[in-house]
């Protein structure tokens, strides 16, 4: 088992004392065969996890960017479950504050396509065969993000059902209420006339668009309400996240189109045609459709 080295604990006084003693120069002498930074971030473990399957130089940026995205999906998922808990607890300003960070993480994910878009088709094709049937479609962290946001397609949980330790997490994300369910339930608690059937008693079901929910969101934007109203701020913070995630999908589609054109994917789909269809989906659908009523 990997040893987790005790980092001790710091304090402002201790840091001031060290800086004064070393006249502001960096600490460069450590014993114990490691550094506190290596230990804190598990750097040696992290940097041992890049195992491209070919000798092609362009596989390394593809591989590392894929891992970066997985870490950011994980962060998104964890933060979104906290947003859901805050909404359940009626702590709207705290949820809005956290959604601000979620949006920044989604923006960061979008910017990763700039690096992947720098791969020429010939560079990608040089290592593509070594991926076999591996596809981002099988990313369970991404699937959990889609589920916690409310896009629940149970078929896409199937690749993970035989994977110990993963199947349970994906199943839980599918069955737990989404951030959107929590936001709609909050609207109902604040007096919006949303019938219980529209509050999704079976969270694993695909969300059916509801007129009542659309009306409720339209009410949040009604005349006289605005940035001084916490539900208005929540609606816009949710839209920021929905838009950023839709942008991630759209940039994926564009990047894939410029790299493989009309070729099929490694995960079994027709490729761009499939990605184009999933890109049309909107998270928090009634928040989008309500705009047509304003
Ligand atoms: C740059 C080269 C890439 C190409 C050519 C590509 C291509 C594709 C294609 C064709 C699909 C459709 C499923 C299939 O048949 O495979 C797909 C799905 C997907 N890819 Fe990529 N991809 C690339 C990079 C990435 C990276 C780096 C990630 C991040 C981990 C990623 C994440 C995903 C996800 C999450 C899906 C499923 C989307 C959904 O369910 O809505 N892709 N990709």
Binding positions for heme: 252
On whether both 25 and 87 belong to a single domain, the answer is no
On whether both 98 and 190 belong to a single domain, the answer is yes
How far, in Å, from the CA of 253 to the mean position of ligand 1?
8
Q: Is 233 part of any domain?
A: yes
CATH number for the domain spanning 109: value is 1.20.58.480
Q: Indicate the number of domains in the chain.
A: 2
Residues 88-112 pLDDT 10s: 999 999 999 999 999 999 999 999 9
Residues 153-207 pLDDT 10s: 999 999 999 999 999 999 999 999 999 999 999 999 999 999 988 887 677 777 7
Q: Tell which atom from ligand 1 comes closest to the C-alpha of 279.
A: 41
Confidence at residue 165, expressed as pLDDT on a 0 to 100 scale: 96
On whether both 34 and 128 belong to a single domain, the answer is no
Helix (H, G, I), strand (E, B) or coil at 75: helix
Nearest residue (by CA) to ligand 1, atom 21, is 136
Is the beta carbon of 274 within 6 A of some atom in ligand 1? yes
Is the beta carbon of 271 within 6 A of some atom in ligand 1? yes
User: What is the residue-wise DSSP string for 28-64?
Assistant: ----SSS-HHHHHHTHHHHTT----SSS-TTHHHHHH
User: What is the residue-wise DSSP string for 176-207?
Assistant: SPPHHHHHHHHHHHTT----GGGG-SSTTSPP
Q: In whole angstroms, how far apart are CA 84 and each of 3, 127, 161, 277?
A: 34, 41, 25, 28
Q: Tell which atom from ligand 1 comes closest to the C-alpha of 275.
A: 12
Helix (H, G, I), strand (E, B) or coil at 27: coil
Q: What is the pTM of this model?
A: 0.96
Confidence label for 276 from pLDDT (cuts 50, 70 and 90)? very high
Confidence at residue 2, expressed as pLDDT on a 0 to 100 scale: 55
Confidence at residue 123, expressed as pLDDT on a 0 to 100 scale: 98
On whether both 87 and 174 belong to a single domain, the answer is yes
On whether both 88 and 215 belong to a single domain, the answer is yes
Cα of first residue to Cα of last residue in the chain, in angstroms, is: 59
Query: Where in the sequence is the domain holding 96, given as residue range(s)?
Result: 59-293
On whether both 118 and 258 belong to a single domain, the answer is yes
Mutation pick for ligand 1 pocket among 137, 170, 274 (CB with most ligand atoms within 8 Å):
137
């Amino acid at each position: 088992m990997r040893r987790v080295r005790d980092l001790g604990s710091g304090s402002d006084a201790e840091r001031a004392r060290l800086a004064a003693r070393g006249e502001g120069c960096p600490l460069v002498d450590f014993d114990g065969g490691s550094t506190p930074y290596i230990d804190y971030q598990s750097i040696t473990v992290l940097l041992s996890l890049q195992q491209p399957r070919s000798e092609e130089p362009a596989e390394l940026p593809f591989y590392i960017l894929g891992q970066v995205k997985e870490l950011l999906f994980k962060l998104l998922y964890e933060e979104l479950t906290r947003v859901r808990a805050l909404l359940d607890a009626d702590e709207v300003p705290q949820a809005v504050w956290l959604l601000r960070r979620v949006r920044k993480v989604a923006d960061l994910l979008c910017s990763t396509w700039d690096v992947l878009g720098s791969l020429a088709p010939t560079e990608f094709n040089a290592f593509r065969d070594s991926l076999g049937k591996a596809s981002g479609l099988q990313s369970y962290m991404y699937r959990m993000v889609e589920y916690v946001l409310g896009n629940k397609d149970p078929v896409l949980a199937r690749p993970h059902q035989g994977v110990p330790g993963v199947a349970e997490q994906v199943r839980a994300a599918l069955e737990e209420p989404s951030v959107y369910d929590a936001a709609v339930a909050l609207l109902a608690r604040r007096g919006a006339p949303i019938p219980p059937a529209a509050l999704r008693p079976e969270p694993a079901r695909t969300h059916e668009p509801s007129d009542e929910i659309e009306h409720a969101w339209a009410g949040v934007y009604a005349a006289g309400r605005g940035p001084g109203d916490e539900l208005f701020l929540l609606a816009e913070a949710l839209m920021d996240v929905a838009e950023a995630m839709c942008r991630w999908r759209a940039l994926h589609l564009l990047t894939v189109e410029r790299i493989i054109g009309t070729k099929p994917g490694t995960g079994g789909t027709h490729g761009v045609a499939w990605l184009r269809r999933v890109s049309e989906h909107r998270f928090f659908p009634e928040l989008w459709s309500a705009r047509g009523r304003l």
